[in-house]
Chains A and B, each alone.
Chain A
């Protein structure tokens, strides 16, 4: 696990200074005794602006982060919370550190988005430090690409001690005599592959897989009705012309499949 999760600002001058007990106690006091709004300063360390759009979406009346007194300020000198987005590029690491030094102690650092938490999709690029916690000590991580406004509110509520953490690390070890059987034992593999390819060609990769799985579940179901009738009932209920077209195309492929013609498939 240590190889997967790298240090939390450890080894950096800032991280080592923040690790001492005095600042930790101050931080605890900040959370316990805060009687006013929380001021947030947002630092973009080389993100794509997707995270910024979601942060601003969290401030709109629909989610309204100001209900909790969360207010975005224009200077790190006013801030209680520093919100870091982006994968920390070489050019932005010094401004990020300057913002950290400018904010008065005690402060809470939040790493926002997949890039902020670990470098995200840019983690192995040259000139990218790969996550805010490579240069700074971080208190709360909000993963997501980008995190939705609701996930943002949840992360902030957790940073302020209003909500508790839900996610826990898991480690599974394979049991004895564990076996995996094919998912569609009654559908020959060549037919299954043809159906999956066609569904993905027509609907795109993720939705195509779901549509193909839905069709294969009809093929595998113990329903006395003919397949076309089952499919029609399902498609009438869904009332989606695109889904209807794709499903009918899959049905045509199924009926034209050599092994099927002549059997009781219709």
Chain B
């Protein structure tokens, strides 16, 4: 009996005082994903990587916005979004206290503007993503005049670009016709 008591005193209390004291979590613990909306370019790399479709992007082509949304209820905390984000806008924090009474509180959203096509005026891609692509080209040493040409290309929607290319190729073929004949 005394021996047991001594053993108990030696071991002490095993129970952690959480929730009355903060719980230290292990390094590398994958908790709530934190989105830094000002660093996000709305490129949808995270939504493509998300295995459980917790991350989704929806376009509103009438208002010209793209809405990024994260449903914490569906998130499995795998960290794929953090891995693929080109700008480091999403990181997994050490927070684990996510329980809610109201399910609507499990949603994080961010609205981004879409750029309108230079030719047809339809919304097609996030303005921030185009800006980021140009910044990358500039960083890799593309000269200023070529950069402006690229800007014109990037600010044109894929359909218009395709149409313009087709017209260009048709012109080239026509120009070569006499040589062939």
Contact = CB atoms under 8 A, between A and B. Distances in A.
Interface of A: 1, 4-5, 8, 61-64, 67, 114, 117-121, 123-124, 131, 133, 138-145, 147-148, 150-151, 153-155, 157-159, 162-163, 165-175, 178-183, 185, 188-189, 200, 205-209, 213
A209 B109 CA distance: 25
Given A1-B109, A151-B97, A179-B131, A114 B76 contact: yes
Contacts of A208: 83
6 contacts: A5-B104, A117-B106, A141-B100, A143-B99, A169-B106, A206-B79
Contacts of B75: 114, 143, 145
Contacts of B97: 151, 154, 166-167
Contacts of A120: 52, 74, 76
Interface of B: 14-16, 18-19, 23, 25, 28, 30, 32, 37-41, 51-53, 56, 69, 71-77, 79-80, 82-83, 86-88, 96-113, 128, 131-132, 135-136, 139-140
Contacts of A121: 51-52, 74, 76
A151 B76 CA distance: 14
A180 B39 contact: yes
Contacts of A148: 25, 96
Contact of B96 (A114, A138, A140, A150): A150
Contacts of B53: 123-124
A141 B106 contact: yes
Contacts of B40: 180
B80 to A, nearest CB: 7
A257 to B, nearest CB: 14
Contact of B99 (A155, A168, A170): A155
A119 B87 CA distance: 30
Contacts of B73: 5, 114, 117-118, 131, 141, 143
Given A117-B74, A143-B106, A209 B82 contact: yes
A118 B74 contact: yes
Given A165-B99, A169-B104, A174-B128, 5 more contacts: A114-B76, A143-B99, A144-B98, A173-B110, A174-B113
A180 B128 contact: yes
Given A124-B53, A165-B100, A180 B41 contact: yes
A206 B112 contact: no
Contact of A123 (B14, B74, B87, B135): B74
Contacts of B74: 114, 117-121, 123, 143
A188 B140 contact: yes
Contact of B15 (A1, A61, A138, A151): A61
Contacts of A185: 139
A141 B103 contact: yes
A159 B19 CA distance: 14
Contacts of A169: 104-109
B19 A133 contact: no
Contact of A174 (B86, B100, B104, B110): B110
What 8 pairs between A and B have smallest CB-CB spacing? A155-B99, A117-B73, A145-B76, A118-B73, A172-B37, A172-B110, A121-B52, A206-B79
A4 B71 contact: yes
Contact of B109 (A124, A167, A170): A170
Contacts of B104: 1, 5, 169
A150 B18 contact: yes
B5 to A, nearest CB: 18
A158 B101 contact: yes
Given A62-B15, A140-B99, A4 B52 contact: no
A165 B51 CA distance: 27
Nearest to B136: A182
Given A1-B104, A143-B98, A174-B111, A183 B19 contact: no
A179 B128 contact: yes
Contacts of A206: 30, 79-80, 82-83
B14 A173 contact: no
